[in-house]
Chains A and B, each alone.
Chain A
Amino acid sequence: MESTAKDNFFLPFFHAIGKKVLHIINSLGAAAIFFVLSFLKIFRARQFREIVQQVFYIGAKSSTIVLLVGLFTGMVLGLQLYYTLVKFGSQGVLGSVVALTLIRELGPVLTAIMITARAGSAMTAEIGNLRISEQVDALYTMRIDPQRYLISPRIAASIISFPLLTAFFDLIGILGGYLTGVVLLGVDKGAYFYRIREYVDMVDIRGGFIKSLVFALLVATICCFQGYFTHLRTDSYGAKSVSLSTTSAVVYSCVTILISDYVVTAFLM
């Protein structure tokens, strides 16, 4: 009798956990299939124009905010690191520390988060709106594969834009560090750039590039997936479901960026 009572007490608990785990696995599987199918459709005909358009929206239009964040990140790094390094009398290595921090870590991560906030959320909202107003179905009825037309160009554009914007972020960040370190705090100009050239290797740049590619695939897939299946949400309908999908897309993307950053870094080290 006692065992049965215990079973009854724990059963709903494990049932809820099991249900949630199954839901997560199911969603991950669906997202993986969604990504593979969408990725393969990048190479179909009539994609060039759409991809260029999306590079403009995701890449070019995000550049201002990315450059602004890059500049101030570099400046604040220059400031913080200068006062730390000066304690050890090593302010001469400021350039290399700023550059390595940006190229290896902050550049890819912050760029990805900024693009998620600006373009990722817009992707989810736009696709979600198309879905709830039956425009995705309309594409299907016109024999236009919605995944090929809506999702593949966004994934391709992310693959192109993320590394490019990361490179810009790194560059402007290094200049930001130069502004505070050299112009404001008096570090030697030659030493700043010399140390960068001496300590930053190709492997660091490659690592940052790989990270930005991984983030591009993750962010584009998550944001498009959330928008594309917004009509399947069970917690809300219509405009509300689009807003919840957009929130979920941004949250999941940011969390995934940070988790995958750790995983990729561990592999690269």
Chain B
Amino acid sequence: METPLIEFREVTKRFDEKTVLDKADLLIYENQITTIIGKSGSGKSVLIKHIIGLLTPDEGSILFRGKPVKDMQKKEWEGYRSQISYMFQNNALFDSMTVFENIALPLRQTTKLRKKEIERKVMSRLEQMELADAAGKYPAELSGGMQKRVALARALVTDPAIVLFDEPTTSQDPIRRNTILSMIAHYRKQFGFTAILISHDIPDVFFISDRILLLWEGKIGFHGTYEELTRLKHPMIDEFLQSIEGLRDELTGLLSKEMFRSRYALSLGGGQADTTFTAVIFIAGVDHSVDLPRPQAGIEVLKVLGEQVNNYFGPLGGFSARHSRDKILTILPRISPQEAGQLVQDISQGLSKVLPGMESLTPGRIAADECFWLSVSAGIAEATSAEDIDEIMLRAETNQKVMVKFQCGREGVTQ
């Protein structure tokens, strides 16, 4: 069995009378994105602050690759800490330093790198984060989103093996929020670090997570994949999801996944009655072979697609939800597959008009060496309510055809 990278064994932490962590057991595996969810004030930040040593447990132990951190020699402890980076909820940037100085600080203070080498590393991170123009600015001169990216650049500049993200998307709009999450997923793949994330952004955060941990009343109430979380019928999870998940997906304006399931059950007697209906799956595909800022383009496309789907299918009694990072499923109870096909055609025409006007696809925003493609595909399937939603999705996906494709350098959107 794989040894966890980080393990909590019955960790208890109290602040005065209040017990925040109550014999919490936790397992974090290498090269995964683990997301910690839980209600506000449930102790998520306290939990990850224990990992980096900002807090120490009152009881219990924390193990790194099977070795208790409290038994580590000073050198070993420093070695452990050198592998971890922490991105603070409020960024914790140094206001009196420029963006460049903020990112260079850990290199200047903890490495023996030469000035030129530090400059090269910092500028490379700044360029990756599209912040090269802001190098000489102070954090107060930047927008909230840019500050987040500076904090992310600072967290990654030391090439850490483990990065702790404490609510990295707080106070961001849905597009920026998804962009940051995509950036985390992208950089995790690129640099190969283990990410531990605290986030309330449901469902967006689930789409990038390998494992989810639910912190509930001081204990880890659930750990597993997103699919396991949604399938598990437990009052604790229902209560949590209801408390945190809105009725609608903020990015697309479509129903939240939970609302979708309840609407499906109500209108079609999901899983019991044998009603026939049409399901349409939309898939936004983005060229993953190139670097950023493609995530933003992909997210903007998803947002536009959500609006179009809502506009066309909503008045006809259809209902839709995002089922993964880039997939939207629509259920059309009183529409035949042929009629659905005609509607999909209309949507693709609408999209081909809207897409070229999107901010991230305007020619001035894309450099010649950054050319990429993105596409929207649709698949239609006839289904019965006795079928499982995942099965229906799979079947619709096998029928998918490209509706629109954008490729820079070509003539905008092609159909």
Are A143 and B88 interface neighbours, CB within 8 A? no
A134 to B108, CA, bound (A): 20
Report if A138 contacts B (CB, 8 A). yes
- What residues of A have a CB within 8 angstroms of the CB of B78 in the complex? 143
> Can you offer 18 A-B residue contacts whose CB atoms are under 8 A?
A130-B94, A133-B90, A133-B92, A134-B92, A135-B93, A135-B94, A137-B54, A137-B88, A137-B92, A138-B92, A138-B94, A141-B85, A142-B110, A143-B78, A143-B82, A144-B106, A144-B110, A149-B109
Interface size on B, residues (CB 8 A): 22
Report if A140 contacts B (CB, 8 A). yes
Q: A135-B94, A137-B54 are in contact. Are A142 and B106 (CB under 8 A)?
A: yes
- What residues of B have a CB within 8 angstroms of the CB of A149 in the complex? 109
Report if B81 contacts A (CB, 8 A). yes
Report if B406 contacts A (CB, 8 A). no
Which residues of B approach A to under 8 Å, CB–CB?
A: 52-54, 78, 81-82, 84-86, 88, 90, 92-95, 105-106, 108-110, 154, 158
Report if A87 contacts B (CB, 8 A). no
Q: Which of A46, A130, A133, A141 meets B86, CB within 8 Å?
A: A141
- What residues of A have a CB within 8 angstroms of the CB of B54 in the complex? 137, 140-141
Number of A-B residue pairs at CB separation under 8 A? 45
Q: A46-B108, A137-B88 are in contact. List 17 more A-B contacts (CB 8 A).
A: A133-B92, A134-B92, A135-B92, A135-B93, A137-B54, A138-B88, A138-B92, A140-B52, A140-B53, A141-B52, A141-B84, A141-B86, A142-B158, A143-B78, A143-B81, A144-B106, A144-B110
Whole-angstrom distance between the Cβ of A136 and the nearest chain B Cβ: 9
A144 to B106, CA, bound (A): 7
- What residues of A have a CB within 8 angstroms of the CB of B158 in the complex? 142
Are A144 and B88 interface neighbours, CB within 8 A? no
Whole-angstrom distance between the Cβ of B395 and the nearest chain A Cβ: 48
Sorted nearest first, the 6 A-B pairs with minimum C-beta distance are A138-B92, A141-B86, A142-B106, A134-B92, A144-B109, A143-B110
- What residues of B have a CB within 8 angstroms of the CB of A141 in the complex? 52, 54, 84-86
Whole-angstrom distance between the Cβ of B64 and the nearest chain A Cβ: 15
A134 to B95, CA, bound (A): 12
Q: Which residue of A lies closest to B81 (CB)?
A: A143
Q: Which residue of B lies closest to A126 (CB)?
A: B96
Interface residues of A in 102-159 (CB under 8 A from B): 130, 133-135, 137-138, 140-144, 149
A138 to B87, CA, bound (A): 8
Are B94 and A46 interface neighbours, CB within 8 A? no
- What residues of A have a CB within 8 angstroms of the CB of B105 in the complex? 142, 144
A70 to B109, CA, bound (A): 39
A137 to B45, CA, bound (A): 13
Whole-angstrom distance between the Cβ of B89 and the nearest chain A Cβ: 8
Q: Which residue of B lies closest to A130 (CB)?
A: B94
Q: Which residue of B lies closest to A141 (CB)?
A: B86
- What residues of B have a CB within 8 angstroms of the CB of A135 in the complex? 92-94
A224 to B88, CA, bound (A): 24
- What residues of A have a CB within 8 angstroms of the CB of B94 in the complex? 130, 135, 138
Interface residues of A in 33-58 (CB under 8 A from B): 46
Q: Which residue of B lies closest to A129 (CB)?
A: B95
- What residues of A have a CB within 8 angstroms of the CB of B88 in the complex? 134, 137-138
- What residues of B have a CB within 8 angstroms of the CB of A140 in the complex? 52-54
Are B92 and A46 interface neighbours, CB within 8 A? no
Q: Which residue of A lies closest to B86 (CB)?
A: A141
- What residues of B have a CB within 8 angstroms of the CB of A134 in the complex? 88, 90, 92
Q: Which of A130, A133, A142 meets B109, CB within 8 Å?
A: A142
- What residues of A have a CB within 8 angstroms of the CB of B95 in the complex? 133
- What residues of A have a CB within 8 angstroms of the CB of B108 in the complex? 46
Q: Which residue of A lies closest to B166 (CB)?
A: A134
- What residues of B have a CB within 8 angstroms of the CB of A46 in the complex? 108-109
A140 to B106, CA, bound (A): 10
Q: Which residue of B lies closest to A148 (CB)?
A: B109
- What residues of B have a CB within 8 angstroms of the CB of A138 in the complex? 86, 88, 92, 94
Q: Which residue of A lies closest to B52 (CB)?
A: A141
Whole-angstrom distance between the Cβ of A138 and the nearest chain B Cβ: 4
A141 to B154, CA, bound (A): 11
A140 to B54, CA, bound (A): 8
A195 to B272, CA, bound (A): 110
Q: Which residue of A lies closest to B54 (CB)?
A: A137
A133 to B151, CA, bound (A): 14
